[in-house]
Amino acid sequence: MSIYTRTGDKGQTSLFNGQRVSKSDLRVEAYGAIDELNSVIGVVLSQVQSYNLKLKSELVEIQNDLFQIGSALASKVISNLSYLSNRVKGFEDSIDSMTEKMPPLMNFILPGGGIAGSMLHFARTVCRRAERKIVKLKELEKIDDSIIMYVNRLSDLLFTMARFVNYKEKQKEIIWPA
C-alpha cells in the first residue's frame, strides 16, 4: 500500500466519515494539533532518562489517549470518551504526587532546564494550542466535553512533569521576573 494517495494535492482531506473538507478546516486544525502534541511527546520520550520508567509509561499511555482523541475529532460522530474523566483524576493524583516531592512553586518560571524538561515545557505549549483549537471547534460543533477537560489537565501535568524531571536532573528553575 502506498503512503501517498494524491487526494490531498488540491488542499482537501477526508474526515473519517468520508466527507471532504479543506485542510484549513477547524476540525482538521484541532486533530492536527493533537497529532503534533503526540509527536512532541514522542520526542520527550526519547529524552527521558531510563530511571524514570513511571513517567515514560505515563507518556506512552497519554500518546494512546491522544490517538483516541484525534480519532474522535476526525469524526463528526460524538464518541464516548467517558474514560477520559478517570484519566483526568489520575493526572491530578500524579500532579499532587510529584508536587509533594519538589520545592513549592512560589513564582512564575521560565520554560527550560535539561533537554527532557525543556521538551516537556514545549509539549505543554503545544497542548495549550491544541486546547484553544478544540475549544474553538466546540463553539461551532458538538464534541465530547471530556476532551477539553482532558487536554486542559494534560497541560498541567506536562508542566509538573517538566518541573519534576528538571528537579530530578538537578536543573535549576529560572524565576521570572529575573
* HEC readout, 16-47: CCCCEEECCCHHHHHHHHHHHHHHHHHHHHHH
Tell me if 16 is assigned to some domain.
no
Tell me if 40 is assigned to some domain.
yes
Looking up residue 133, the CATH number of its domain turns out to be 1.20.1200.10
Structural contact between residues 73 and 31, judged by C-beta atoms closer than 8 angstroms: yes
pTM of the predicted model as reported, rounded to 2 decimal places:
0.92
- Check pLDDT > 80 for residue 77: no
Tell me if 128 is assigned to some domain.
yes
How many domains does the chain fold into?
1
Which range of residues forms the domain containing residue 45? Answer: 23-73+80-176
Task: State how far Cα 6 lies from the chain centre.
Answer: 29
Tell me how many degrees the CA angle 178-125-54 measures, rounded to the nearest 5. Answer: 100
Q: Using alpha carbons, list the distances in angstroms from residue 26 to 22, 77, 93, 129, 164.
A: 9, 16, 33, 13, 34
Tell me if 13 is assigned to some domain.
no
- Amino acid 57 reads S
Tell me if 62 is assigned to some domain.
yes
At 13, is the pLDDT very low, low, confident or very high (cuts 50, 70, 90)? confident
Mean pLDDT of 33-37: 98
Residue in the structure block whose three cell numbers are 466519515: 17
Tell me if 52 is assigned to some domain.
yes
| Mean pLDDT over the full length of the chain | 92
Tell me if 1 is assigned to some domain.
no
Residue in the structure block whose three cell numbers are 500500500: 1
Tell me if 17 is assigned to some domain.
no
